[in-house]
Amino acid sequence: MRIDVPGSDLHYQLVSFDKHGAERAANGILASDELVALLANASAPVTDVFLLSHGWKGDVPAAIQQCNDWIGQMGRMDEDRAKVRALRPGFNPLIVGLHWPSQPWGEEKLDAGSSPRLLSGDEPADIGALVEEYAQAIADTPRARQLLQDIFELGARQGSADPLDPALAQAYQDLREEASLENDEDLDDPTHADWDPRQAFDAAIGEAQPGDGGGGGRLLGGGGVANALLSPLRQLSFWKMKNRARAIGETGVSELLRKLQAAAPAQARFHLMGHSFGCIVVSAAIAGNPGGPAPRPVHTAILVQGALSLWAYCADIDGSPGYFHSIVRNRQVSGPILTTRSGFDTAVGKYYPMGAGIAGQKTLAELPRYGGVGSFGLQGLAALAHDRPIGSSSEEYGFVAGRVYNLDAAAVIRNGDGASGAHSDIAHPEVAHAAWQAIMAGL
């Protein structure tokens, strides 16, 4: 599906995947087949292919908006675009936006005109509707549905001033077990024995604003206790989406990458960019499906406010390599790897480690065991990684192929409020320029 970026001369193709990593057809047509045809057009040879992935809470309209914002900002960097055309005569990009169902309560129709449908908590919703929504987000089995039914019925009697009902806490734990979330080997396993739904409940109650409501009777119509009762479920859906990002990256997106590499001209370079959990999607696509054929190396990986482990690329953490260490070990990114981090990103800084449900995290060489790239960059890489502040929109970075650059972008990624803070505040000239500099490395 072709999408023209508003106010820009750029356009992109949207490729959508279902929750199993299978490509979804729009009007009976697979976008990947259209992309192969574009790559086969010898009269307009493609020089560079860009694949972009959104993160968590990205339904189709949100994914389109994120792509429009990011591509639009890249397109406004006139000096960078002029420079890349001078360095790479005939520069002809093919831009691909990747959508995967990461919004448990979103509008997943391939129709950009629809509005997202969210459980706002402002109007009463019946228990059956809540069970349906969270079964889709966490585990869709008869036992999971019964546990969700129990949680909402017990929750209707929960008061904000009372400790979490033990029967309710046990129902959350049983639901976690039913979900059977796989250990993604990136040191953030939500099935850890220390996961405690009472922590999530108490934290949410502590953050509730005065007047948010104190009785469980308001569960189906909002209020502070309603938000607190949903908090453990949101943690479980957080990890479900995190594992889904990995699985979709290893299957559908990795297969798409190989398909496009095979169809592209030999000199074409590939650049992958992810935001939030999209950094897991693109990392998994680059690494390939474990046990399967790996794609050819790509040129650039750009991980913006990544919601993946800071140790994901390292060689050793507690005796095991990070899940995506093969990317570094096998040089599956021939050019630079770029990350951004910001202390104003509370989604990664606060809620990413909280998602593991771990209290009293231990630190490793003054870095937390459980933390995200969007807060710390990629760590455990010794001399391979370089930490530095983000520069201006005219900075000459001198990025070197094969190196990892962690940019402290708090000077620009700083706007936003609510639970996510500045997590999605990424469409800035300084960030786009740094991305262009990485793309041009080696030209």
Residues 135 and 81 grouped into a single domain: no
Residue 118 has pLDDT above 50, yes or no: no
Residues 283 and 373 grouped into a single domain: yes
Residues 145 and 193 grouped into a single domain: yes
Q: Read off φ and ψ for residue 356, nearest 5 degrees.
A: -75, -15
pLDDT in tens, 380-437: 999 999 999 999 999 999 999 999 999 999 999 999 987 789 999 999 999 999 999 9
Residues 266 and 408 grouped into a single domain: yes
Higher pLDDT, 156 or 261: 261
How large is the greatest C-alpha to C-alpha distance in the chain, in angstroms? 70
Q: Is residue 88 part of a domain?
A: yes
Q: Which helix (H) or strand (E) holds 12?
A: strand 11-17
Lowest mean pLDDT of 212-221, 288-297, 316-325, 335-344, name the range: 212-221
Residues 226 and 303 grouped into a single domain: no
User: Can you tell me the distance from the alpha carbon of 121 to that of 205, in angstroms, rounded to the nearest whole number?
Assistant: 16
Higher pLDDT, 420 or 74: 74
Residues 79 and 146 grouped into a single domain: no
User: Tokens representing 387?
Assistant: 């930490």
Residue 222 banded pLDDT, cuts 50, 70, 90 = very low
Provide the residue range defining the domain that includes 260.
2-114+242-440
Residues 81 and 159 grouped into a single domain: no
Domain count, the chain: 2
Residues 218 and 269 grouped into a single domain: no
Residues 24 and 143 grouped into a single domain: no
Task: Report the alpha-carbon angle 207-157-57, nearest 5.
Answer: 45
User: Tokens representing 300?
Assistant: 């650039």
Residues of the chain with pLDDT > 90: what percent?
60
Domain's final residue, options 215, 240, 265: 240
Measured from the Cβ of residue 396, the count of other Cβ atoms closer than 10 Å reads 7
Q: Is residue 119 part of a domain?
A: no
pLDDT in tens, 7-55: 999 999 999 999 899 999 988 999 999 999 999 999 999 999 999 999 8
Distance of CA 332 to the CA centre of its chain: 20
Domain's final residue, options 240, 265, 280: 240
Distance of CA 406 to the CA centre of its chain: 17
Residue 365 has pLDDT above 80, yes or no: no
User: Can you tell me the distance from the alpha carbon of 225 to that of 168, in angstroms, rounded to the nearest whole number?
Assistant: 13
Residues 102 and 211 grouped into a single domain: no
Question: 198: which residues sit within 8 A by CB, 6+ positions away?
Answer: 163, 164, 169
Q: Is residue 122 part of a domain?
A: no
Domain's final residue, options 240, 261, 296: 240
Residue 232 banded pLDDT, cuts 50, 70, 90 = confident
